[in-house]
């Protein structure tokens, strides 16, 4: 950009070359041909090998893979303490945060891979790993405005990366040091939204008129290695601590730091450490084995009756596993989420095979509710299906599920509430509250359906309804 120093470009290219990374300077014209929505005022561009991953797909695939090797996922289970016996960590005390149920899980080795919460876990054993929480916020825009990652060619700063992800693009991120005690209560601030938009527009001017779907923030689990107020220069290096060796507390290993880019290597390092402690010397193979669904949109799934947007989206999300639900069954092919083309079949598959127990889970596995309408069309439809599959006859559960889901969507929409996003939110509110009477239903003494079921006389039941 004109306001950035062009000399940085040369430095960037040379550094890439030194690091063995291909880097090729492009003229503004070439850059515009590849990415037509990029700011036409650009002075130059550098093309480097870059890519994106879909964090939702990646997470779901990892879980699926682990389960297929015998692992077990316990979602919504918070670690409340370490079981320490005879100077050794033998497991964890947990609580199911949905039901309040207390659970103890015993294990020969416990791996602390709790991200920013890793510090808390070690504190249970009076150990200290100093985390350096840096909040990062980003904005999701309605549709893809770029097809490859676009980065500002300057020293890392706020809002200098525009990433395409599935149907959307996201502009990120900010970086702000926060006290460790605040990690549970972070929110996107108006200033951050402003910065993201203003800087984003410089990358792609079209962003000025694109609808922002939601704002999101998270905390980077950086490990404090120096005294840097912005957190920018902190090492993103991987930290692996075998507390048996480091603190004479065997049975516990902490893996932290790093970036998503290195997540698999981190997993390998942690697993190797566990294996070593267990006396297993087998070579780790995960780097060589594709994850479930790795074929993505190239998966060979045969479902001629399904329309291309539906089958294409399903394959993109589930790869070859889409064969498990894409069929010519009309009922299964009913579209539940119209923005992201999620069918009833995909929802049933996610409930049965991907641990989706409610709408919030379902969103992460399938993208329902992630499109422009943010759950307006699909919440009630999907809640019905999930409820049918998991809690027959319990409409209260479906209602709770809708409420929780829409609240969670609302949380992301609130910071960007203007223009079409506001109209959309208002319309959703109107549909769920004014039209469907959501709030009134919530305050009824018992779910309507139960009242109906207990009434034997049909006429009375109709009156009651």
Residue 452 near residue 465 (C-beta atoms within 8 A): yes
Which residue, 178, 175, 142, is CA-closest to 159? 175
**DSSP secondary structure, 411-425, as one string:** HHHGGG-SHHHHHHH
Question: 170 vs 234, which CB is nearer to other proteins?
Answer: 170
Question: 337 vs 347, which CB is nearer to other proteins?
Answer: 337
Question: 287 vs 308, which CB is nearer to other proteins?
Answer: 308
Q: Is 423 in the site for other proteins (CB under 8 A)?
A: yes
Residue 164 near residue 147 (C-beta atoms within 8 A): yes
Question: 36 vs 71, which CB is nearer to other proteins?
Answer: 36
Paired tokens of 3: 């306001």
List binders of other proteins among 161-200 (CB under 8 A).
166-167
Spatial distance between the Cα atoms of 139 and 159, rounded to a whole number of angstroms:
10
Number of residues that bind other proteins (CB under 8 A): 36
Spatial distance between the Cα atoms of 422 and 425, rounded to a whole number of angstroms:
5
List binders of other proteins among 64-103 (CB under 8 A).
none
Q: Is 28 in the site for other proteins (CB under 8 A)?
A: no
Spatial distance between the Cα atoms of 271 and 142, rounded to a whole number of angstroms:
39
Q: Is 111 in the site for other proteins (CB under 8 A)?
A: no
Which residue, 357, 346, 286, is CA-closest to 69? 286
Least separation in angstroms between residue 37's CB and other proteins is 6
Question: 46 vs 84, which CB is nearer to other proteins?
Answer: 46
Residue 328 near residue 305 (C-beta atoms within 8 A): yes
Task: Please report the sign of the dihedral spanned by the C-alpha atoms of residue 364, residue 366, residue 371, residue 374.
Answer: negative
Least separation in angstroms between residue 403's CB and other proteins is 20
Question: 173 vs 313, which CB is nearer to other proteins?
Answer: 313
Q: Is 377 in the site for other proteins (CB under 8 A)?
A: yes
User: Which long-range contacts link 182-190 to residues 24+ away (Cβ below 8 Å)?
Assistant: 182/133, 183/116, 183/117, 183/133, 183/219, 186/135, 186/217, 186/218, 186/219, 187/217, 187/415, 188/137, 188/215, 188/216, 188/217, 188/415, 189/137, 189/415, 190/415
Q: Is 401 in the site for other proteins (CB under 8 A)?
A: no
Question: 8 vs 429, which CB is nearer to other proteins?
Answer: 429
Question: 147 vs 280, which CB is nearer to other proteins?
Answer: 147
Residue 150 near residue 204 (C-beta atoms within 8 A): yes
Beta-carbon neighbour count of residue 380 at 10 Å?
A: 21
List binders of other proteins among 261-300 (CB under 8 A).
297
**Per-residue binding letters, 128-167, with other proteins (x by CB under 8 A):** --------------xxxxxx------------------xx
Least separation in angstroms between residue 141's CB and other proteins is 9
Beta-carbon neighbour count of residue 185 at 10 Å?
A: 7
H or E segment at 463?
helix 458-464
* CA distances from residue 14 to 11, 153, 169 in whole angstroms, order as listed: 5, 13, 29
Stretch that binds other proteins, among 31-39, 62-70, 151-159, 219-227 (CB under 8 A): 31-39
Question: 133 vs 375, which CB is nearer to other proteins?
Answer: 375
Q: Is 329 in the site for other proteins (CB under 8 A)?
A: no
Stretch that binds other proteins, among 62-70, 96-104, 245-253, 337-345 (CB under 8 A): 337-345
Least separation in angstroms between residue 373's CB and other proteins is 4
Question: 42 vs 273, which CB is nearer to other proteins?
Answer: 42
Least separation in angstroms between residue 298's CB and other proteins is 11
Least separation in angstroms between residue 195's CB and other proteins is 22
Spatial distance between the Cα atoms of 363 and 356, rounded to a whole number of angstroms:
9
Q: Is 346 in the site for other proteins (CB under 8 A)?
A: no
Spatial distance between the Cα atoms of 183 and 218, rounded to a whole number of angstroms:
9
List binders of other proteins among 296-315 (CB under 8 A).
297, 307-309, 312-313
Stretch that binds other proteins, among 3-11, 29-37, 214-222, 255-263 (CB under 8 A): 29-37
Q: Is 424 in the site for other proteins (CB under 8 A)?
A: yes
Q: Is 210 in the site for other proteins (CB under 8 A)?
A: yes
Which residue, 353, 362, 410, 408, is CA-closest to 387? 362
Q: Is 433 in the site for other proteins (CB under 8 A)?
A: no
Q: Is 209 in the site for other proteins (CB under 8 A)?
A: yes
Least separation in angstroms between residue 172's CB and other proteins is 19
Spatial distance between the Cα atoms of 269 and 50, rounded to a whole number of angstroms:
24
Q: Is 366 in the site for other proteins (CB under 8 A)?
A: no
Least separation in angstroms between residue 310's CB and other proteins is 9
Residues that bind other proteins (CB under 8 A): 34-37, 142-147, 166-167, 206, 209-211, 297, 307-309, 312-313, 316, 335, 338-339, 341, 371-373, 376-377, 420, 423-424, 427
């Amino acid at each position: 950009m004109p306001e950035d120093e062009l000399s940085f470009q040369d430095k960037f290219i040379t550094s890439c070359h030194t690091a063995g990374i291909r880097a090729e300077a492009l003229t503004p014209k070439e850059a515009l041909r590849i990415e037509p929505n990029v700011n036409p005022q650009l002075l130059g561009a550098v093309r480097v090998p870059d890519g994106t991953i879909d964090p939702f797909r990646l997470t779901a695939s990892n879980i699926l893979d682990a389960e297929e090797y015998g692992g077990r996922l316990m979602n919504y289970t918070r670690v409340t303490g370490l079981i320490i016996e005879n100077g050794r960590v033998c497991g964890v005390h947990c609580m199911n945060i949905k039901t309040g149920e207390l659970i103890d899980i015993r294990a020969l080795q416990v791996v602390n891979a709790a991200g920013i919460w890793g510090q808390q876990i070690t504190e249970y054993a009076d150990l200290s790993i100093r985390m350096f929480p840096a909040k990062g916020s980003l904005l999701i825009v309605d549709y893809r405005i770029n097809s490859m990652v676009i980065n500002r060619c300057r020293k890392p700063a706020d809002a200098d990366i525009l990433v395409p992800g599935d149907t959307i693009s996201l502009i990120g991120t900010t970086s702000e040091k926060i006290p460790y005690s605040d990690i549970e209560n972070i929110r996107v601030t108006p200033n951050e939204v402003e910065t993201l938009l203003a800087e984003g527009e410089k990358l792609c001017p079209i962003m000025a008129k694109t609808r922002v779907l939601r704002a999101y923030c998270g905390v980077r689990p950086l490990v404090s290695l120096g005294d840097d107020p912005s957190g920018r220069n902190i090492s993103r290096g991987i930290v692996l601590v075998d507390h048996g060796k480091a603190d004479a507390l065997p049975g516990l290993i902490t893996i932290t730091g790093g970036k998503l880019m290195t997540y698999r290597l981190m997993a390998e390092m942690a697993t190797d450490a566990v294996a070593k402690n267990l006396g297993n010397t087998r070579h780790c193979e995960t780097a060589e084995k594709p994850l479930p669904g790795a074929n993505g949109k190239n998966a060979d799934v045969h479902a001629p009756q399904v329309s291309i947007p539906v089958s294409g989206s399903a394959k993109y999300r589930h790869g070859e596993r889409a064969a498990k639900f894409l069929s010519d069954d009309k009922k299964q092919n009913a579209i539940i989420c119209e923005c992201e083309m999620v069918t009833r079949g995909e929802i049933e598959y996610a409930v049965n095979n991907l641990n989706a127990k409610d709408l919030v889970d379902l969103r992460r596995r399938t993208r329902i509710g992630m499109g422009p309408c943010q759950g307006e069309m699909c919440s009630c439809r999907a809640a019905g299906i999930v409820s049918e599959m998991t809690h027959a006859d319990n409409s209260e559960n479906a209602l709770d599920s809708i409420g929780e889901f829409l609240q969670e969507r609302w949380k992301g929409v609130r910071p960007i509430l203007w223009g079409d996003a506001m109209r959309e939110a208002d319309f959703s509110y109107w549909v769920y509250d004014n039209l469907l009477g959501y709030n009134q239903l919530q305050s009824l003494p018992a779910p309507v359906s139960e009242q109906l079921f207990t009434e034997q006389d049909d006429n009375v039941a109709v009156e009651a309804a």
